Amino acid sequence: MSAHVAPGAPVPDVFDPRQYGQGVPHDRYRHLRDHHPVAWQEEPEVLGWPAGPGFWAVTRHEDVVRVLKDSATYSSYLGATQIRDPDPADLPFIRRMMLNQDPPHHRRLRVLVSRAFTPKRVDRFAEVVRERARSLLTGAVAEARSGDGTCDLVARVTDDYALLNLTDLLGVPDTDRALLLHWTRRVIGYQDPDEAGTPSLGPDGAPVDPRSPSSLRDMFDYAHALAAHKRRHPADDVLTALATDPELTAPELEMFFFLLVVAGNDTVRSAAPGGLHLLAENPEAYGRLRDGEAGFMGAVDELLRRHPPVLTFRRTAREDTLLADTRIRAGDKVVVFHASANHDERVFPTPFTLNLTRTPNPHVSFGDGPHVCLGAHFARLQLRVLYEEACHVLPASLEPAGSPGRLVSNFINGLKSLPVRVGGAW
């Protein structure tokens, strides 16, 4: 946790992505919830990225839910959904993505993807997902046993697990899987030099936004080539369903592909090690899960509450409005903080306790309102199976073997490494 914040202190900064490399700034969030529930944040230049106009940080659960549900006032379309303002020239392009639309237009795209993404299709992957979890975890344990008893669960298990499950569901051939990892690292990890490498610079010397059309051309070309292949060789996967849907236009298909690749990979890639880390840190909870005293479904949600993969989403006020007695002007950026809402004492008793049987558990890790996560069923399935197999395959004693490596990002709560020590009886 971050350093303690004194009650009368100025409004703490929760924007700077570098602090998230050290951990989620829960003390700062708490101070904001208690004293400035809708707090103005400066957006200075950071890591070579230009300064922005600033935004409102919304940290209480009640207000976060309100913003997410009220899409008439808090728009996903006007300025899209990331804190950083897109280049105005790129905005029309970015707005083609369903994530960056408002009802009623959003509805049409949502219905189209939902048709390709049915729970029935997702459930058909359960056995493949289980087999993958088992073999990755078994490999990690073998490595730990043949060495010093430790292994990195991100490198050995969770990165591959998230990526391969997604590529199976989408129908991306094995040979092209590395491409997907490359794209999501570029788009999501752009604030972290370890992930994205050195950013390419535009003619003005500023880094090129990884979400601009020019940066995404290779991914879109690939989506088209794959869609053409699926039309010739249909299979039981999401890309075939999208490619053969007569109502879907070619630009819509490109955008879906982009959205599913980034939304479906990095989130599970964060949730899976985040959950395992919490279990390693909480041996009592891990024991109760292994003994069957706590159910896996509830555990998935509690682990997601404590480690939400998404840290922020942005909206733009369509009109002047009031939120928690704070006047917000039309055009202001309004950013919700999921990890803060999930630890709001007003809603969750003892929010920092990992209580795998917590009920109710109205966490907002999957968002709320019209954009609530479309992949939640697939994500929950993957996480449940991973924890079930972890309880079978990993030994009784699972301990952190050092601090996890954290992603430098104010968007994704990513873990880049998770060293653990595995030992004891099975």
The residues that touch ligand HEM, with contacts defined as CB under 6 A, are 68, 76, 81, 98-99, 110, 166, 259-260, 263-264, 267-268, 271, 309-310, 313, 365-367, 371, 373-375, 378-379
Tokens 């100025």 identify what position?
Answer: 10
What pairing do the DSSP bridges indicate for beta strands 397-400 and 150-152? unpaired
Instruction: Quote the CA–CA distance of 407 and 416 in Å, as a whole number.
Output: 6
- Give the nearer residue to ligand HEM in terms of CB position, either 102 or 389: 102
Instruction: Quote the CA–CA distance of 223 and 217 in Å, as a whole number.
Output: 10
CB of 84 to ligand HEM, least distance (A): 15
CB of 313 to ligand HEM, least distance (A): 4
Read off the DSSP letter of residue 411: S
- Give the nearer residue to ligand HEM in terms of CB position, either 328 or 422: 328
- Give the nearer residue to ligand HEM in terms of CB position, either 43 or 102: 102
- Cα–Cα distances (Å) from 103 to 111, 164, 263, 319, in that order, read 12, 33, 20, 16
Helix, strand, coil shares of the chain as percentages rounded to 5? 50, 10, 40
CB of 116 to ligand HEM, least distance (A): 10
Instruction: Quote the CA–CA distance of 138 and 393 in Å, as a whole number.
Output: 6
Residue 287 contacts residue 251 (beta carbons within 8 Å): no
CB of 98 to ligand HEM, least distance (A): 5
Q: Of all helices (H) and strands (E), which one includes residue 423?
A: strand 419-423
Instruction: Quote the CA–CA distance of 386 and 150 in Å, as a whole number.
Output: 19
CB of 202 to ligand HEM, least distance (A): 27
CB of 265 to ligand HEM, least distance (A): 8
- Give the nearer residue to ligand HEM in terms of CB position, either 77 or 348: 77
Q: Which residue is closest to ligand HEM by CB?
A: 375
- Give the nearer residue to ligand HEM in terms of CB position, either 189 or 375: 375
- Give the nearer residue to ligand HEM in terms of CB position, either 347 or 374: 374
